[in-house]
Amino acid sequence: MSLESEVITVLKKLVDPLTHQDIVSAGILQGLQVSSSGKVTFILEISTAYMQQGLKLKEDAAALLKSLAEVKDIQITLTAQRKPKGQNQPKEGIRGVNYIIAIASGKGGVGKSTTAVNLAYGLQNMGLRIGILDGDVYGPSLPRLLGVSQKPTSDDGRIINPIVVNDLKCMSMGFMIDEKVPAVWRGPMIQNAFHQMLRQVSWGELDVLVVDLPPGTGDVQLTLAQSVLLSGAIIISTPQDLALIDARKGLEMFLKVSVPILGWVENMSYYLCPHCEGRSDIFEHGGVRKEAHALGIPFLAEIPLHMSIREASEKGMPIVKASPYSEEASVYKALAQKTWELLTKLS
């Protein structure tokens, strides 16, 4: 067997974290060169979504190659240029918008929208220019959470002006339709409505546009995740196991479309009593942190379950805006800080 064949055979023992195929079949091993003097060079094309696993892969590859006596020199370059197979659809950003991030979860009701609005205000609190888009065209919740009831206007009948609340630019299907009328949108129409809200809104200059995605990991979510150049996604889940299984599906969806996972947030992580401010771990908390650690994904925040968070949202004034110096608000502000650090690091 030639040295090159031997090298390929040992490298095939390594598994690509995304496709679960060996790294040669998965196509992430590129430009392999094996010289007669025993020098082996190649590139590992991984994704920023799993940098840590990429680093481990590189180490393991080097260790395996060292076991071959004829290999004298090893040079492995790690790049984050990976484009998954079958993804040729070009993604476009939005002019004037620096980063677009998605807030997602595998299942409904885990607090995506609540996190999205508080994160938006948290980022704004850092002096950044922020917009927020309600990606849920079936059950829009931004109008209620932000206390907005006016309809957006348009100067030319084509481009829509976002609603501006406390300097936050926002857009939701709920601004266009009566909240009581159920929107019966079919697949292509949903996509259309979402596209219009993304591209036919005069967002202006924004540092971050926060997109609150609808729950689940079906076709609708996948299309949304694919249709725009997302800088990254934040996955929200609650501590229960079942939610974690769903969250893993959410992670896989973003990995498939090559969107970096900025990190994972545990919502309703522990209970903060509004009377005594005592803390109780109602659910076995910490599961998300453990899981995130195992997968090499940043763990971003543990948000308490607190009456004031729900009450503030219901009044249309999210907690970060309503009581910016409360303990609950500080958790969201820290989340905003981490998110911004990750975004600027990624670029």
Q: Which of residues 23-82 bind Mg ion (CB under 5 A)?
A: none
**Does 106 participate in binding ligand ATP (rule CB under 6 A)?**
no
Identity of the residue, 112 or 333, whose beta carbon is nearer to Mg ion in the bound complex: 112
Beta strands in 175-303 (DSSP E): 206-212, 232-237, 261-266, 271-272, 279-280, 299-302
Q: Say whether residue 136 binds ligand ATP (CB under 6 A).
A: yes
Beta bridge partners of 295: none
- Measured from the CB atom, is 47 or 105 closer to ligand ATP? 105
**Which residue bears the tokens 């609005």?**
117
Read off the tokens for 117. Answer: 């609005």
Min CB(179)–Mg ion separation in Å? 14
Amino acid residing at 271? Y
Q: Is 172 in the site for Mg ion (CB under 5 A)?
A: no
Give 283-330 as a DSSP string.
Answer: S-TTHHHHHHHHHT--EEEE--B-HHHHHHHHTTS-HHHHSTTSHHHH
Please enumerate in sequence order all residues whose Cβ is within 8 A of that of 338, keeping only pairs 6 or more positions apart, or say none. 263, 298, 300, 301
Work out how close the CB of 5 gets to Mg ion at its nearest, in angstroms, rounded to a whole number: 53
Q: Any contact of residue 238 with ligand ATP (CB under 6 A)?
A: no
Q: Which stretch binds Mg ion (CB under 5 A): 90-98, 111-119, 168-176, 338-346?
A: 111-119
Residue showing tokens 């803390």 = 279
Sole window of 41-49, 78-86, 133-141, 181-189 interacting with Mg ion (rule: CB under 5 A): 133-141
Task: Name the one range near ligand ATP by CB under 6 A: 17-25, 176-184, 289-297, 299-307.
Answer: 299-307
Distance CA 60, CA 41 (A): 15
253 binds ligand ATP (CB under 6 A): no
Residue 225 tokens read as 């995740």
113 part of the interface to Mg ion, by CB under 5 A:
yes
303 lines the binding site for ligand ATP (CB under 6 A): yes
Q: Which residues face 168 on adjacent strands? A: 165
Query: For ligand ATP, which residue of 313, 316, 338, 342 counts as binding (CB under 6 A)?
Result: 313
- Beta strands in the chain, from DSSP E residues, in sequence order: 29-34, 39-45, 73-79, 97-104, 130-134, 163-165, 168-171, 206-212, 232-237, 261-266, 271-272, 279-280, 299-302
315/204 Cα distance (integer angstroms) = 28
Selected binder of ligand ATP within 215, 232, 239, 260 (CB under 6 A): 215
With contact defined as beta carbons under 8 Å apart, do 130 and 207 qualify? Answer: yes
Cβ proximity to Mg ion: between 144 and 249 the closer is 144
Encoded tokens for 334: 């820290």
Of 135-143, 144-152, 160-168, 170-178, the segment contacting Mg ion by CB under 5 A is 135-143
Query: Which of 250, 272, 271 is closest to 262 using CA atoms?
Result: 250
* 34 versus 123: smaller Cβ distance to ligand ATP: 123
Q: Which is nearer to Mg ion, 152 or 174 (CB)?
A: 174
Measured from the CB atom, the residue of 26 and 233 that comes closer to ligand ATP is 233
Among 110, 198, 210, 230, binds ligand ATP (CB under 6 A): 110
Chain residues 151-180 in contact with ligand ATP, contact rule CB under 6 A: none
Instruction: Please report, as ranges, the residues that interact with ligand ATP according to CB under 6 A.
Output: 105, 108-114, 136, 139, 141, 215, 267-268, 303, 305-306, 309-310, 313
Binding site for Mg ion (CB under 5 A): 112-113, 141
